[in-house]
Structure 1
Amino acid sequence: MVRLPLTPAEVERGQRLGALLRRARGDRSMLLTALDAGVSPETLRKIESGRIATPAFPTIAAIADVLGLSLDAVWSEINKSDDEAEFIRRDHPVAERLAS
């Protein structure tokens, strides 16, 4: 099966997802986070760097659970426009924004 190239919107969404996960992980070790989520550290590194722009849902669900992020918050964050995402990053800490 041939995979179609990603659209620019999919690439941007993947970059926002990676940035969100990096911020939420904070000082927590990438290795421990990955192991707790049941994914390889390499997979987590690729997601955080945006190299895997469209990871599988169970992978994101497991990582989000380990980081204490709701899937609604993750979905909302990665689908914001660049201006909205920058406003939220600048004016609202991750813990306050995503803990609900």
Structure 2
Amino acid sequence: MVRLPLTPDEVERGQRLGTLLRRARGERSMLATALDARISPETLRKIESGRVATPAFPTIAAIADVLGLSLDEVWAEINRPEGGVEPAGSGRNAREWLAS
């Protein structure tokens, strides 16, 4: 399967996701977090570093659960615009984003 290059927006969302997860993990080890989420530590490292900008939904759901984050919190953080306020009608809804 050939993957299309990521858009700048997808790369930025991936970086925001990684930052959010690192912040939420705090002092907890990457190994313990990954094992509790039933993913490999390498996968978590790549997500946190932004190298995997579009991880699978079940992966993010598992990590969020382990870290005590709601999926609403994750969604809001990764889709927040640079200035912090999104113009009305400019964003895609969750169903569109998940399908992309």
State the TM-score bracket (shorter-chain normalisation): 0.7 to 0.9
Counterpart position of 2:20: 20
Segments ≥4 residues shifted beyond 2 Å: none
Counterpart position of 1:32: 32
The structure with more helix, counted as a fraction of residues: 1
* Shift, 1:84, TM fit: 1.6
Counterpart position of 2:4: 4
* C-alpha distance after superposition, 1:62-86 (max 9, x if no partner): 000000000011001100012329x
Counterpart position of 1:88: none
- The alignment yields a C-alpha RMSD, in angstroms, of 1.1
User: How many percent identity over aligned positions?
Assistant: 82
State the number of aligned residues.
Answer: 85
* C-alpha distance after superposition, 1:13-68 (max 9, x if no partner): 00000000000000000000000000000000000000000000000000000000
The one-letter code matched in structure 2 to 1:53 is: A
Query: What runs of 5+ residues in structure 1 fail to find an aligned partner?
Result: 86-100
Task: Report matched runs for 1:39-54 at 5 Å.
Answer: 39-54=39-54
TM (norm. structure 1) is: 0.83
Q: How far apart in 2 are the matches of 1:70 and 1:41?
A: 21
TM (norm. structure 2) is: 0.83
